[in-house]
Chains A and B, each alone.
Chain A
Amino acid sequence: MQQLTRIIASAHAASVSILLTVALTIGSELSPALKTWLTGLTGHHWTSKSIISVVVYGIVFAALQSMMGERSAITAKQSIQILVRVTCLSLVLVIGFFVGEYFHWF
Chain B
Amino acid sequence: MDIISVLTAKPVLIGVHLGAAIIGIDAFMWLLGKLTDKSSLRSDRLYPAIVGTGAFVFSWLVGGYYYVKYYGLVVKPVIKAGVAPWAHIIVMESKEHIFLFIIPLAVTIVLLAILNPTELKKHQLDSGLLTLTVLVVGIGFLIGAFGFIISAAARWGA
Contact = CB atoms under 8 A, between A and B. Distances in A.
B125 A7 contact: yes
Given A7-B112, A49-B97, A102-B90, A73 B122 contact: yes
Interface string A61-75: 000000000000110
A75 to B, nearest CB: 10
A10 B108 contact: yes
Given A3-B114, A76-B123, A81 B68 contact: no
Contacts of A17: 100, 104
Interface residues of A, number: 40
Contacts of A11: 108
Contacts of A13: 104
Contact of A77 (B98, B119, B123, B139): B123
B98 A94 contact: yes
Nearest to B67: A46
Given A13-B104, A98-B93, A102-B89, A7 B111 contact: yes
- Give chain B's interface secondary structure class: helix
Interface residues of B, number: 35
Nearest to B104: A14
Contacts of B142: 91
Contact of A47 (B68, B112, B135): B68
8 contacts: A6-B111, A13-B104, A17-B104, A46-B64, A77-B125, A84-B131, A91-B101, A102-B86
Q: Which 7 A-B pairs have the closest CB atoms?
A: A73-B123, A14-B104, A80-B128, A10-B108, A25-B97, A102-B89, A98-B90
Interface of B: 60, 64, 67-68, 86, 89-90, 93-94, 96-98, 100-101, 103-105, 107-108, 111-112, 114-115, 119, 122-125, 128-129, 131-132, 135, 139, 142
